[in-house]
Every structure is written in C-alpha cells, then in structure tokens.
Amino acid sequence: MAPMAKTSLLALAPEALPGEGFRKRQLAAWLYEKGVRQWDAMTDLPKAFRAELAEHYRLSEFTEVQAYPSQDGSVKYLYILLDGQKTEAVYMPYKNRRTLCVSSMVGCPAGCTFCATGRMGFGRNLSAAEILDQVLFAAYHQNHSPREIRNLVLMGMGEPLLNLENVFSAIERMLHPQGLSMSPRRITLSTVGIPRGIYRLADSGLGVRLALSLHAPDDETRKQIIPTAQRYPIAEIMEAVRYYYAKTRRRVTLEYTLLKDLNDREWQARALAQHFRGISAHVNLIPWNPWPGAPHRGTPRAQILRFKAVLEAQGIPTSVRFSRGRDVGAACGQLALQQPA
C-alpha cells in the first residue's frame, strides 16, 4: 500500500495502538520513548507482527525533511508532507533546555499584515499525527529521545485555535504518560485571539499555557494589522482570557510584536497594562522580524526599551524576546517555506 493509504500510528492514542496490551506498550515505547522511525529497529517485536504492522500502518508523515541550521544553534526543519504540501518547525537548544516550535497548519488563514505565514495564505490544517511527527522527527534528527524535548510551543505556522480538534488531540498525545509524557506547564499554545477557542481550551482541562498575540491595546490599531480583529473585539478576547485564567490559574503570556509608529507608542503601553488588571500576566515584547516585501518596519531598540519601562512601571513583568534563527528565516513570523539563501 502507498503510505497515504495506510493508517498513521501517531493518529492513535496509545491505548488504541494495534496488538495486545503488552505489545501496545512496547509499540508506544518505540514511538514515543525511543523515537525510532523504522520497523526493523523495533527489535523486541516478533518479525511477523512487524511485517503485519508495516503492511497496514505508516511510521512517518513526511516524504522528506530538510534541516537548516542557524549560526545561533537553532535549526529550522522543512517537512514535505505526504500530499506534497509543506510545513515547518524550529528547534531551539539552550543549555539543557530543548524547545521545539511546531506548526498547526500549512500557511494561515488569519492574514496578519506583519507575518510572512499570514502573507502566504491558507494551505490546510495539519492532522494530529502531522503535528506530533514534527516533534518526533526533530528529536530523531538531534539524536535525542522525543521525551528529551522538554518544551513545546505552538507558535509556528498557523492558528492553533482554528484547528482545534487536531491540535487538542496532538496535545493529548504529548501529555499522555505512554506518549511524550510532557508536563502541561511546558506546552504553550499561542493564539491570535479566537474567543470560542480560548473557552474550549479552558474547559478542555488540558492545562497548557496560553499565549495571546494582542499586538495592540485598542481595536482601531489592531484592526489595521490583524484581520480577525474585525470579528473579535479586544474586550471579548480579554473576557475569554479572564475565564481561562480563572479556570486554570496559569499565568498568561501576552505577545506583542513592535511595529514602528503603529503600536509602539507610550500611551499604548499604558493602555495595554489596563487590560491585565487582576490577572497574572507576563508580556513578551518581540522585535519585529523582517521578511521580503513586508509593509512594516521594526521599532528601534531604544523605543522598545521605553515601551518596556512603561509596562514595568505599571507593574507588568515584561521581557524582550530576541528571536533566534533569523539567518535561516526561522524567527517568529518568518516561516513561509522559503529556502534560506
């Protein structure tokens, strides 16, 4: 059978893997603990069972993967999916902490003006298996067990809350004790602000961290750069975020990409702080990463620091996130399937 006609093992919950109870656990360990990508490597499974598995199931969601190492140690992975579409993830080692930034879609339908993924438009949703296999492949390529990737951010291509079912089932597999066995505190889902998705996430009990890409404290500015702001006013998004916080008690991260003369003024920093009264939040200021043909400019460093100082004076903990992997187009908002020069 052609790979596409087979069932992905990663699409199945560990309990639903083929074989009897003991075999299921062995298989789950090969997939999620050892991270092998070949049937032959599963040496403690009987040959006949392996042959049967190979007949009906597939072990990879990709026909090919290209790795682009950055000078700073991060690596951008370009995955070619079975239908020929492409998606990307970014591996970021930092001392003993290994973080992977994964995609939830091919492209993105949200169309934010400052984001290269938004510019390329929407390809399709990724399946849960395709989301998970980004992690498994990156770990394999780095010679680590998949479980050694301890931090995961859903901040690659796509809007995770517009692909909610698949994203939630990928997260379930990440948290599952026989899956990647990750702590929910080490998974962060970043959203452009889809209120009904935020409520669903809060009610799901998954317990992962939430990052909100607000990028402006006022609807007027926000609508200029984020098309979904036409439908979802900030007040509605913040109501959902308050619900999330009340339910999970997890500190919320606010992402704010600074664009010159657009959202980087001091009154906007003061207005931003007002939205976070009464919830524990942390602001990540992201210097804007350029991409060819973008209609924006980044805020100069001195103004970034002034913006930060205003937020801190209002009691909001703030950090500036200097993106990694700029040289290979792997930084926030640069993922658009271009091959680095």
Considering the complex, state which of residue 108 and residue 208 has its C-beta at the smaller distance from ligand SF4: 108
Q: Which does 289 bind (CB under 5 to 8 A by kind): ligand SAH, ligand SF4, none?
A: ligand SAH
Among 289, 304, 328, 336, binds ligand SAH (CB under 6 A): 289
| C-alpha span between 63 and 54 (Å, rounded) | 16
> How wide is the angle at C-alpha 201 spanned by C-alphas 215 and 211, nearest 5°?
25
Considering the complex, state which of residue 139 and residue 192 has its C-beta at the smaller distance from ligand SAH: 192
By CB under 6 A, residue 257 contacts ligand SAH? yes
Render the burial of 93-120: b for 16+ CB within 10 Å, e for the rest. Answer: beeeebbbbbbbbbbbbbbbebbbbbbb
Residues 160-219 within binding reach of ligand SF4 (CB under 6 A): 192, 213
| C-alpha span between 39 and 19 (Å, rounded) | 15
By the 8 A CB rule, do 215 and 256 touch? yes
Distance of CA 45 to the CA centre of its chain: 34
Q: Kindly determine how many residues on this chain lie close enough to bind ligand SAH according to the rule CB under 6 A.
A: 15
By CB under 6 A, residue 146 contacts ligand SAH? no
Q: Residue 232 CB, nearest distance to ligand SF4 (Å)?
A: 12
Q: What share of the chain is helix, strand, coil (3-state, %, to 5)?
A: 40, 20, 40
The set of catalytic residues is: 88, 332
Stretch that binds ligand SAH, among 121-129, 188-196, 234-242, 265-273 (CB under 6 A): 188-196
By CB under 6 A, residue 325 contacts ligand SF4? no
Using left for φ > 0, alpha for ψ between -120 and 50, and beta otherwise, residue 17 falls in beta
Stretch that binds ligand SAH, among 16-24, 69-77, 186-194, 306-314 (CB under 6 A): 186-194
By CB under 6 A, residue 112 contacts ligand SF4? yes
Binding site for ligand SAH (CB under 6 A): 114-115, 155, 159, 190-192, 213, 255, 257, 286, 288-289, 332-333
